[in-house]
Structure 1
Amino acid sequence: MATEVKVPTLGESISEATLGQWLKAPGEAVKADEPIASLETDKVAVEVNSPVDGVMGEQAVAEGATVQVGAVIALVEAGGTAASGATPAPQDRTAVGKAEQAAPAEPASAPVSYGSGEQDNSVPAQGGSGDDNAALTLSPAVRRLVLERHVDPSQIKGTGKDGRITKDDVLAAKPVTARAPEALPASSQAQAPAAAATGGRKEERVRMTRLRQTVARRLKEAQNTAAMLTTFNDVDMTEVIAARARYKDLFEKKHGIRLGFMGFFVKAATLALRDVPGVNGSIEGDEIVYRDYADISVAVSAPQGLVVPVIRDAQDLSFAGVEKTIADFGKRAKDGTLKMEEMKGGTFTISNGGVFGSLMSTPIINPPQSAVLGLHRIEERPVVRDGQIVARPMMYLALSYDHRLVDGREAVSFLVRIKEAIEDPTRLLIDL
């Protein structure tokens, strides 16, 4: 008896998703609650599990297609027997390969093609004993990551099921730079157009992911709605660096997590938000909402883009609690397993561009929040201390805020509170 597999409820206000990758092929054995497909929503990846034990049956939707909540995407034959020699790919590539061979040859736009958009999931395979026209089947999510990071998938050894290339495989691969002609496949060299040899220009068109579309829409909405302004300050990191160096080994031994800089800034922000409540507020209609709690949104980099999970009640957490929460968010963002509810309801955001080398920026607020704190790289700069010019590890801070709610005086006062707490971490312990 066949059991329908439907798109699950994806969260409030989310009615559709993109089928990113089939994790099981027709004919493969599956167990109840075992993931069989991965969906991409506006914010996170969601796995679809098999409702029963059995064998994977018909797949009603192709990878890259848009599906509605409640739609049937596959069938599972309950109690069936797995077919021998089941292939991991949900599509029959043989017919595609024959059609491509029968079609007139067209000049390639580059020595190695990664594909674009949703029209082709394959790339030329290099080396090995097989046919030169063999294809590597990539999921849409992996294919987009290949294009973004400029890597050659034919040089990647897949660690996924049946040797399929995963996102982690792409992230670990080295980007393609300049390669000697003899390193390219013979078939690719033969198809390379004359324009490529003479420095011809290339273009790639790749459909925006749902996450990137959502980020673009929300950031533009923020610019159109809020009266944004940014104020800056700098902070001497000497004392925080010294405290971290002094206690990091003991901290990790006791709590099982590394002591980072973000914990200091989260705790400093909770104190500053208490003293300057407007920065922690928001505008709802013709009312201002003030809060006595701090739900800190922390920008985390993920393979599919930037996500912003929320540290709930950060004012009540210890340093260890903050660091464990951030580490867990980072790991699950990489795995694509963050939940929708974990990225809703933040009252203030901290974004650390310093990990990528940023010296200074003007971050955009995350609506309906009224402010965002931008952290940047630490570098030694000459400063004056007690009449002497000395080198100190300095960091620029940027606070972007909604001027409709937060006045300049409040914004400056907030940054000064952060600066004082970081330059004298004892304040964090005695609540000053």
Structure 2
Amino acid sequence: MPTEVVMPQMGESITEGTITKWLKKPGDTVARDEPLFEISTDKVDAEIPSPAAGTLGEIKIAEGTTVQINTVVCTIEESGSAAAAGPAAAAPAKAETAAAPAADTATPAAVDAASTIEAAAPAPTSEGGTDIVMPQMGESITEGTITKWLKKVGDTVARDEPIFEISTDKVDAEIPSPAAGILTEIKVPEGSTVQINTVVAVIGGGAAKAAAPAPAAPTSKAVPPAAPGSATPTASAEAGDRPKSSPLVRKIAKDNNVDLAQVSGSGSAGRITKDDILGHLEGGAKPAAAPATAAATIPAGMVSPTGTPTPAATPAKPVAASPQPGELVPMTKMRSIIASRMVESKRTSPHVHTVFKVDMTRIVKLREKEKAKYEQRNGVKLTYMPFVTRAAIHALRKHPIVNGAIEGDAIRYNKNINIGIAVALDWGLIVPVIKQTEERNFLGIARAIVDVAERARGKKLAPDEISGGTFTLTNAGIFGEQFGTPIINQPQAAILGIGGLNKEAEVLTDKDGNDVIAIRSIQRFTLGFDHRIVDGADAGKFMSDFKAYLENWSEDIG
């Protein structure tokens, strides 16, 4: 029975992909995990491996065609089975896609993707040595950036000793050595971004190569020199300077006569995403309107003998402003990703914020009374975070919509309450996730918070520990702020900002109805929520239950 090969999902927010190149043709023998075709999505270009060994049967989707994830694109026949139908060039494209070019025609999208992937191809296995490769730090991760080498050529390396640091779309991590020996060669220098499974260094295998590491391979073809006397750049030079984008984005731009150089990219390293090009189009940028505008600037009566308006005078070039004094430093990979994620979230979710004032006096007194004995008894400090987390879990149980997420035109009601805890690092921000918090008691939550925070600062988190969150807590109150308006961590529906804890004068009413002024410990909490699925009433009820749980604390802290 044939194995169906589908368009994979290359990330939580990816819903479609474009087949840029078939690496095999019907009838070819295919090994398991052998690259089968190349795809380009709104965020990544990648080679897709075969899920099974056999013979490539029918190609159902032609090169250049964009299809939804999980669409069957081809079949793999068992060895010995008859070859299936011919290439997809003969098959009609789906009605909702543009006419696909013939399978043996190199489209611009295919050429661009091929050149990028070719430049990042893994190096051959080193003779007698152990290759160190760029690891895959999660299912949707296809590349990583080497941010720092922790060893130099000639250094002795122990097995499992950290050898270099990487930064990916989702995590920063130290990568341990797979073997003990001497670092004999560094193939990829710091700052280079390469595909997963690319050989980046070699342990053992001969004399150390002390030469400086080779520069990162370019992702575009070499630009030939201009012909003598030319005043115009070559086509190759223009192609090399164009903004980063996917074939899907370039197709949309071509169909709408948009110059991508005029579109701001919000993706990693300035990559233009599908949302960027659509937002540009919705903004009303119409290149076709330019000629009319130019004609309107010509004074009345200024026409040529043929009746054609004469060209307007070229305006003087504005004087370039002198740069501000100071240092211009490129964004780190993590900072670039954070910037992209924040812009994406604000563009995706209509943010609404509500602020509640909570009387924490009862909890402050309990903590002061128990913190010394608690740490001695349990080996962990008693902070306010587990109190807040337990109150959030209580409120999320009562109001599951706040723990939900939008998936297309539907709402996902998550079964588990996976709490993300924002951790400030010297080099950025990361949100490790504590899974299934509804099954943990107070002490379990307290230990988990300390554990993930320490490992986040030590770059020891696993990829699955920073994904899968359903609700996030961010505590900026430790820096003294009263309250903030945090940005939602996509694709979640809400985030809770924790403000500073301060003593304030409050008006209290006693049992006889008399008002008195008392000094209380007050803290403000801000719920930022996605108004597409969480109404103001839902947010108010959630925060009321959250507030009541803290002000009337009765839970055993262990």
Q: TM-score, normalised by structure 2?
A: 0.54
SS in 1 for 2:354: strand
Q: Does residue 1:402 correspond to 2:525, yes or no? A: no
Q: Does the 8 Å CA contact 1:6/1:72 hold for their aligned counterparts?
A: yes
- Which letter maps to 2:491? P
- 1:56 CA displacement: 1.2
SS at match of 1:206: coil
Offset of residue 340 of structure 1: 1.4
Residue 457 (structure 2) pairs with residue 334 (structure 1): yes
Amino acid at match of 2:196: V
Which of 113, 132, 139 is the aligned partner of 1:5? 132
Select which of 376, 401, 412 maps to 1:278: 401
3-state secondary structure, aligned to 1:378: strand
Q: Separation in 1 of the partners of 2:198 and 2:541?
A: 52
Partner of 1:66: 193
Match of 1:312 in 2: 435
- Output one character per residue of 1:230-277: Cα deviation in whole Å (capped at 9) or x when no partner: 111100110010111121122112210011101011110111011111
Could you say if the C-alpha distance between residues 253 and 402 of structure 1 is closer, same or farther in structure 2, counting changes exceeding 3 Å? same
Q: Please tell me the residue identity of whatever aligns with 1:245.
A: E
Instruction: Give the unaligned 5+ runs of structure 2.
Output: 1-127, 215-322, 510-514
| 1:416 corresponding residue in structure 2 | 544
Distance in 2 (CA, whole Å) between partners of 1:75 and 1:380 is 59
- State the alpha-carbon separation in 1 of the partners of residues 208 and 197 from structure 2: 27
Runs in 1 of length 4+ with deviation above 4 angstroms?
80-83, 89-92
Letter of the structure 2 residue corresponding to residue 221 of structure 1: E
User: CA 1:335–1:422 in structure 2 vs 1: closer, same or farther (change >3 Å)?
Assistant: same
- The one of 151, 162, 168 equivalent to 1:41 is 168
Give the percent of matched residue pairs that are identical in Structure 1 and Structure 2: 39
What does 1:239-258 correspond to in 2, within 5 Å? 239-258=362-381
Q: Residues of 2 paired with 1:50 and 1:429: CA distance?
A: 45
Task: Specify the SS of the correspondent of 2:447.
Answer: helix
What is the deviation of 1:422? 0.9
Equivalent pairs counted in the alignment come to: 317
Q: Deviations over 1:163-217 (max 9, x none)?
A: xxxxxxxxxxxxxxxxxxxxxxxxxxxxxxxxxxxxx963212221222222211
CA offsets per residue over residues 62-113 of structure 1, 9 Å max, x none? 22222221111112224x6899xx9xx9679xxxxxxxxxxxxxxxxxxxxx
1:300 aligns with 2:423: yes
Question: Is residue 157 of structure 2 the alignment partner of residue 30 of structure 1?
Answer: yes
The 3-state SS of whatever aligns with 1:52 is coil
| Alignment CA distance shift 1:271-1:204 (3 Å) | same
Gapped runs of 5+ residues in structure 1? Answer: 93-199
Q: Is the Cα–Cα contact under 8 Å of residues 188 and 213 in structure 2 kept in the other structure? A: no
**Pairing partner for 1:388 from 508, 516, 519:** 516
Secondary structure (helix, strand or coil) at the match of 1:330 reads helix
Equivalent residues in 2 for 1:22-421 (5 A)? 22-78=149-205, 202-386=325-509, 387-421=515-549
Contact 1:28 1:82 in 2 (8 A): no
Residue number in structure 2 paired with 1:15 = 142
Cα pair 1:301 1:330 within 8 Å, conserved: no
In the alignment, is the contact (CA less than 8 A) between 1:54 and 1:77 conserved in 2?
Answer: yes
Match for 1:270: what amino acid? I
Amino acid in structure 2 at the alignment position of 1:402? D
- Deviations 1:362-383, CA, capped at 9 Å, x for gaps: 1111111101111110112221
Q: What's the CA shift for 1:408? A: 0.8
Q: Which moved more, 1:39-48 or 1:235-244?
A: 39-48
CA positional deviation for 1:32: 3.0
Q: Distance in 2 between matches of 1:3 and 1:340?
A: 24
Does the CA-based 8 Å contact 2:472-2:494 persist in structure 1? yes
The whole-number CA distance in structure 2 between the counterparts of 1:48 and 1:274 is: 38
User: More helix by proportion, 1 or 2?
Assistant: 1
TM-score by length of 1: 0.69
SS of the residue 1:390 aligns to: strand
Q: Choose 1 or 2 for highest CA Rg.
A: 2
- Could you tell me how far apart the structure 2 residues matched to 1:33 and 1:421 are? 45
